[in-house]
Amino acid sequence: MEYTPKTFTLPTLDGISQKSVDEHLGLYQGYVKNFNAISKKLVEYAADTEANAHALSELIRRKSFEFDGMRLHELYFEQFEGLPAQAGGAKALDDNSDLGKAFATEYQGHFLEYFKAIASMRGPGWAMLYFDPIGKQFQAGFSGEQHLGHFVTLPVILALDVWEHAFILDYGAQGKGKYIDAFFKNLNWSVIEKRFSTAANS
Ligand SMILES: [Fe+2]
């Protein structure tokens, strides 16, 4: 079955231009297209694994790159949309929500500073926040490119794309910090609160 690119109802973002969003959505659609193309090719290669051994191994290596690019961008854009029952747009974190309280316990008021430091790490990738329902704690990390360094099985709570393509149009190659600030200015925290609630109760 082929994957279909999702459409997003995005509000106008403050500090992330429509041009940048449109280019970024185009890249997202490219991941969906490439994942579908690789999957199709692998079915062909499976018919003669010996003759296709080298091509097959290369595509298998690329497969999670395309898949994770597809799924992470869906998580990323949904974070600006808000929940279906709400008006879209930025929404502050509710300190009295379960997520707000869990942050206070685990990060002692330093979550944002910590997560921004992860997002500022050098190299293309994603700053990620997961929640471990077994260990009952957050795991924050950095996924190199988009398929490396994930915490397997843990649900994603927050995903921040820090590839250059996310900010170079608006802020230039050295503008990652300004883009990270813009991301948080536009973030709808009710989406993140909902993800946490689902993960914590799973
Ligand atoms: Fe991206």
State pLDDT tens for residues 10-45.
999 999 999 999 999 999 999 999 999 999 999 999
Cβ(155)–Cβ(130) below 8 Å: yes
**CA 26 – ligand 1 centroid, Å:** 10
- What is the rounded CA–CA span in Å between residue 49 and residue 19? 43
Measured in Å, residue 116 CA sits from the centre of ligand 1 at 17
Question: Ligand 1: distance of its center to the CA of 53 in Å?
Answer: 31
pLDDT in tens, 74-114: 999 999 998 887 777 899 999 999 999 999 999 999 999 99
d(CA 80, CA 8): 9
What's the pLDDT score for residue 82?
86
Quote the ligand 1 centre to 16 CA distance (angstroms). Answer: 13
Among 188, 153, 202, 161, smallest CA distance to 83 is for 188
Task: Quote the pTM value.
Answer: 0.96
Q: How far is the CA of 115 from the centre of ligand 1 (A)?
A: 18
Distance 146 CA to ligand 1 centre (A): 9
Evaluate the CA torsion angle 41, 46, 51, 55 in order and state its sign.
positive
Two structure tokens written together for 36:
């579908």
Instruction: Measure 35 CA to ligand 1 centroid, in angstroms.
Output: 15
pLDDT of residue 1: 87
Cβ-contact 155, 202 below 8 angstroms: yes
The strand pairing partners of 125, in sequence order, are 144
Q: What percent of the chain has pLDDT over 70?
A: 100
Q: Which amino acid, one-letter code, is at 158?
A: L
- The pLDDT score that the predictor gives to residue 88 is 77
**C-alpha 114 to ligand 1 mean position (Å):** 21
16: nearest Cα among 192, 160, 164, 185: 185
Ligand 1 geometric centre to CA of 4 (Å): 17
- Cα–Cα distance between 104 and 12 in angstroms, integer? 30
Q: Contact, 129 vs 189, CB < 8 A?
A: no
